[in-house]
């Protein structure tokens, strides 16, 4: 086994380390202020004060009100609660059963709506995307029906980095009176978030993608949107998500979001400079290499490629052995040899779509890391092609 400290980590879209400022904010809430926020006594009220302060902070960072922010166990849970809860609510209140999604959603969205279709009688329709993986707001408009319960389109794609025209999609939905959910789990780390400007009704985020802890997420629910809870029990989180709140993690999520949403422009400039340098070199120095996703309109830290005739899993293993932690696109697809639905949706040909590589940069990345990667990547790709040719 290789030593983790000798690895160059280039997989910040899979997860990020906890920022030391975040950890400092969390620590007192494990054993010093350990009360249950639902308790009436002093220790409980101290925990409740921290919980509500975190809620206010998250709300103000997203352009929302406190009572519109709900804490969950992760980004996946936020997606689940938003989709299942709103779909059930819309069917109950107005008989709506049609769900529109993009073909480039994270599995947390895709598999949730597939279950709604298979077991709960909803009708799921997939929107078209352009070759960069972008949804056209006019296509959303044309696909809306009187029976549409909600629309869900990913804010920024985890596999190919492309950013969707979320504000325009939200506007189309708003005009038609249809709920709009967006999975902003990747976007919140790098893009300024504002649910008012973006016309969003439901938005999912997860802390570990922006230097917060794993196992905590948040869901924005616009006031008045009916959600049928998936988890029942106590009255926590406005009776929508029962279970004692994880106060230290929630405090950590709020602090991490505050750090992520501050100084975005400066950080984006640094990251996108390194990203563009990497993209330029890969496309120039490696034959039959292509960028996937949009060349400009993409997450500032995100570079993703396909290499013709290369096995992506072998590529990752070779890179790992050479000291680089990268990904094929989605950390949720370990051991899955099938080409990704996202690459199929954007029309990547079969000869290319198994050879994907995602390189995502972060706080620890330096220009030297990019040079070090480029010192080995062309040779590894070449070697794998020769192996598969025999």
Ligand X SMILES: *Cc1c(COP(=O)(O)O)cnc(C)c1O
Chain contacts with ligand X (rule: CB under 6 A): 74-76, 79, 106, 108, 154, 158, 183, 185-186, 206, 208-209, 217
Return d(Cα 252, Cα 243) in angstroms, integer: 18
The DSSP 8-state label assigned to residue 234 in this structure reads: S
Q: Which of 153, 155, 149 is nearest to 178 (CA)?
A: 149
Return d(Cα 153, Cα 218) in angstroms, integer: 17
| CA 28 to centroid of chain Cα atoms | 29
Give yes or no for a contact between 329 and 160, defined as CB atoms under 8 angstroms apart.
yes
> The tokens 């975040």 sit on which residue?
22
- Its sign, for the CA torsion 146, 148, 150, 152, is negative
Give yes or no for a contact between 10 and 361, defined as CB atoms under 8 angstroms apart.
yes
And the tokens for 153?
């389109």
326 is catalytic: no
Annotated catalytic residue, options 74, 173, 326, 332: 332
Q: 87 or 110: whose CB is closer to ligand X?
A: 110
And the tokens for 137?
């707001």
Q: Which of 35, 30, 51, 63 is nearest to 238 (CA)?
A: 51
Q: Which residues lie closer than 8 Å to 145 by C-beta, 6 or more apart?
A: 98
Beta strand 179-183 pairing with 148-152: parallel
Q: Is 100 helix (H, G, I), strand (E, B) or coil?
A: strand
Please report which residue ranges of the chain form alpha helices under DSSP H. Answer: 20-26, 28-31, 42-62, 75-94, 107-120, 137-143, 166-176, 236-239, 247-260, 264-285, 312-321, 341-345, 367-389
The DSSP 8-state label assigned to residue 237 in this structure reads: H
Residue nearest to ligand X (CB): 75
Q: 140 or 153: whose CB is closer to ligand X?
A: 153
Return d(Cα 17, Cα 338) in angstroms, integer: 29
Query: At closest approach, how far in Å is the CB of 206 from ligand X?
Result: 3
| CA 354 to centroid of chain Cα atoms | 22
Give yes or no for a contact between 47 and 37, defined as CB atoms under 8 angstroms apart.
yes
Catalytic residue IDs: 332
């Amino acid at each position: 086994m290789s030593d983790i400290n000798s690895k160059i980590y280039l997989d910040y879209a899979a997860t990020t380390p906890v920022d030391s400022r975040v950890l400092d904010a969390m620590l007192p809430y494990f054993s010093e202020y350990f009360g249950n926020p639902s308790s009436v006594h002093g220790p409980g009220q101290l925990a409740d004060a921290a919980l509500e302060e975190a809620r206010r902070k998250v709300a103000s960072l997203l352009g929302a009100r406190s009572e519109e922010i709900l804490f969950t166990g992760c980004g996946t849970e936020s997606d689940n609660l938003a989709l299942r809860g709103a779909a059930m609510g819309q069917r109950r209140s107005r008989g709506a059963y049609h769900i529109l999604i993009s073909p480039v959603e994270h599995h947390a969205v895709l598999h949730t709506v597939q279950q709604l279709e298979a077991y709960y009688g909803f009708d799921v329709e997939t929107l078209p995307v352009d070759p960069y993986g972008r949804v056209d707001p006019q296509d959303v408009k044309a696909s809306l029906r009187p029976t549409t319960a909600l629309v869900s389109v990913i804010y920024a794609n985890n596999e190919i980095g492309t950013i969707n025209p979320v504000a325009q999609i939200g506007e189309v939905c708003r005009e038609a009176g249809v709920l709009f959910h967006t999975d902003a789990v990747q976007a919140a780390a790098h893009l300024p978030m504002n649910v008012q400007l973006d016309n969003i009704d439901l938005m999912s985020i997860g802390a570990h993608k922006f230097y917060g802890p794993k196992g905590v997420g948040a869901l924005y629910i616009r006031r008045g949107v009916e959600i049928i809870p998936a988890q029942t029990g106590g009255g926590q989180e406005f009776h929508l998500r029962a279970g004692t709140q994880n106060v230290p993690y929630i405090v950590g999520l709020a602090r991490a979001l505050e750090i992520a949403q501050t100084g975005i422009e400066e950080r984006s400039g640094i990251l996108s400079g390194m990203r563009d340098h990497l993209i330029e070199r890969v496309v120039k120095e490696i034959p039959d290499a292509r960028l996937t996703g949009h060349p400009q309109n993409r997450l500032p830290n995100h570079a993703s490629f396909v290499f013709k005739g290369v096995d992506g899993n072998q590529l990752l293993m070779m890179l790992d052995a050479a000291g680089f932690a990268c990904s094929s696109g989605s950390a949720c697809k370990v051991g899955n040899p099938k080409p990704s639905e996202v690459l199929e949706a954007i029309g990547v040909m079969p000869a290319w779509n198994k050879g994907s590589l995602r390189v995502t940069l972060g706080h620890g990345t330096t220009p030297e890391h990019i040079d070090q990667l480029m010192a080995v990547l062309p040779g590894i790709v070449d070697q794998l092609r020769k192996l598969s040719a025999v």
